[in-house]
Amino acid sequence: MNNLKLHILGCYSATPRAFTNPTAQALEIKNHIFLIDCGEGTQVQLRRQKIKFARIKHIFISHLHGDHFFGLPGLLSTFRLLGRDTPLHVYGPKGIKEAVTLMLKVGSAWTNYPLIFHELETNTSELIFEDDKVEVFTIPLKHRVYTNGFLFKEKLGDRKLDINAVLNYNIDKCFYQNIKKGKDVTLDDGSVVANDKLTLDPQKPKSYAFCSDTSYKEDIVPIIKEVTMLYHESTFLEQHEKLALETGHSTAKQAGIIAKKAAVGGLILGHYSTRYNDLNEFKEEAKQVFDKVALAEDGKEFLF
């Protein structure tokens, strides 16, 4: 069984501290490592978690607040120093290309590898990456600046051979690949064996939704419906709901409500305000409405 693996590189809001980092994550899915947001210190955290820089080919930036992308120019510069030559794709709000390229150019640190920007500006969910195994969609969020979350979805895989059935019909191995693709088989006597007699259903595709930063926004529910795992910001506790609304953030309870309405497999909380000393309060508050809650912590890994 193939699991998705999520590395929490940083999960706090506002300024970095000696023992906490702003938002960044690395998601391992179908032989990809996708970097999601890139706050200050991200490349140090990548080193600590032994994530190979060369495997990162796609970076997704939710919005242009510093705690979500100020680590990007440094990481791009390090790729250059390491002699990278493979293309790197950066997906983010319109303006990200200007912001990053200006910094690299004035420092004479322009990349020696292809750097491709995909600037986003629509307010509806759109497909922004696709290959034969994975799709990535935007999740329009509501913050003080233009912001997207990201939905990462495995594609439905090939059907699985029921080897006993295949052997029973004495089918040659040269047909196996076509059978896994869903095709029927014609035997030597002209009879046709239906595919469902030779195969088993493929593993259910897994998915991950990243939602940070955002006010409570119920209309994202159809986009993230029944995802395997949801990360949703929970900057504040319910006692500071008014402050959450004013700053374009969510409470832990609101994150739990979104998780419940979307019937997700599990909820990870993060982007905590540093005003709070006990993170368990976030978990307990979200669990008032949704049971399967975990806390993001810098350096923590999740398998799902």
Is 196 in the active site?
A: no
Q: 127, 24 in Cβ contact below 8 A?
A: no
271 is in an annotated binding site: yes
102-106 long-range contacts (CB < 8 A, ≥24 apart) are 103/73, 104/73, 104/76, 104/77
89 is an annotated ligand-binding site residue: no
Indicate the burial class of 72 (C-beta count within 10 angstroms; 0-12, 13-18, 19 or more). Answer: buried
Residue 65 marked in a binding site: yes
CA distance 216 to 17: 27
Separation CA 229–CA 211 (nearest Å): 11
The H or E element that residue 103 is part of is helix 96-106
* Amino acid found at 130: E
Residue 240 assigned as binding residue: no
The one catalytic residue in 37, 67, 184, 201 is 67
**8 Å CB contact between 235 and 249:** yes
Binding site annotation covers 67?
yes
User: Which amino acids are annotated as binding site, given as ranges?
Assistant: 63, 65, 67-68, 143, 213, 271
Catalytic residues: 67
User: Which amino acids are annotated as binding site for Zn(2+), given as ranges?
Assistant: 63, 65, 67-68, 143, 213, 271
